């Protein structure tokens, strides 16, 4: 039953059907299907396939955009259920965003949602953000942790610039730096002087707890 729903969610993303994706997500919640499983086993499978078809030249930019729209539409329905609905003690303050020149928002938003669901106070500054904009947001939020997402091999170097900008702003001892995104690796994170790398939204939460030394 759930397996069938995951497949349909994946297919709605592959076919670029935002309304269908939204209706399926609604159906999943009504039937008590785990929203996280819908994301990981349905929507993620679909968007990965869209990426593959794009790489193979089968899909073009419009299909990429509409596939992402379908995923976002379903996420909008599922994400509130990940939050648990209760007010919790704030475990840490996080500023998160996608680097300058990079418009990919879905993974970053998912990480932000999972952090919020786990008690972090998250300031999501959005996409295409310069190191200076990150630094201003860190100051404004009095953040303990900054999360930086990059999805393009051409923009991942912006993460290095962010580490440098944080040092230059005199904030390096105050804020931990976590990086992620499809082309980013553990060794890249070490090389640029970040404090940690997470492969997905779940491990980003574990990493955030470890970095700020809070009990999970």
- Residue 211 tokens read as 């970095």
Distance CA 96, CA 81 (A): 21
Complex with ligand B1M: residue 29 or 64, whichever CB lies closer: 64
**Which residues of the shown chain bind ligand B1M in the complex (CB under 6 A)?**
44, 47-48, 50-51, 54-55, 61, 64-65, 68, 96, 101-108, 110-111, 147-149, 151-154, 178-183, 198, 200-201, 204
For ligand B1M, the nearest residue by Cβ is 107
For ligand B1M, the closer of residues 31 and 65 by Cβ is: 65
Q: Which is nearer to ligand B1M, 7 or 49 (CB)?
A: 49
Shortest Å, Cβ 165 to ligand B1M = 16
d(CA 16, CA 18): 6
Rg (CA), the chain: 17
Min dist. Cβ of residue 125 to ligand B1M (A):
12
Are residues 216 and 206 in contact, defined by beta-carbon separation less than 8 angstroms? yes
Shortest spacing between CB 205 and ligand B1M, in angstroms: 9
* CA nearest to 125, candidates 102, 145, 97, 144: 97
Q: How far apart are CA 130 and CA 138, in angstroms?
A: 13
Smallest separation (angstroms) from ligand B1M to the CB of 151: 4
């Amino acid at each position: 039953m759930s397996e069938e729903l995951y497949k349909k969610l994946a297919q709605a993303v592959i076919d670029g059907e935002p309304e269908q994706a939204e209706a399926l997500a609604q159906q999943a919640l009504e039937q008590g299907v785990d929203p996280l499983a819908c994301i990981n086993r349905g929507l993620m499978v679909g968007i990965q396939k869209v990426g593959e078809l794009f790489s193979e030249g089968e899909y073009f930019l419009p299909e990429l955009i509409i596939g992402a729209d379908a995923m976002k539409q379903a996420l909008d329905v599922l994400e509130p259920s990940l939050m648990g609905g209760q007010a919790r003690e704030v475990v840490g303050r996080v500023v998160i965003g996608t680097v300058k020149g990079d418009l990919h928002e879905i993974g970053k938003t998912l990480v932000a949602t999972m952090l919020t669901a786990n008690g972090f106070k998250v300031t999501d500054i959005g996409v295409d953000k310069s190191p200076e904009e990150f630094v201003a947001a860190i100051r404004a939020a009095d953040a303990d942790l900054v999360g930086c997402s990059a999805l393009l091999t051409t923009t991942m170097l912006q993460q290095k610039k962010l580490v440098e900008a944080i040092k230059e702003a005199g904030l390096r001892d105050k804020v931990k730096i976590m990086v992620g995104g499809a082309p980013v690796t553990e060794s890249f994170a070490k090389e640029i002087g970040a404090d940690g790398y997470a492969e997905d939204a779940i491990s980003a939460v574990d990493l955030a707890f470890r970095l700020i030394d809070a009990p999970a």
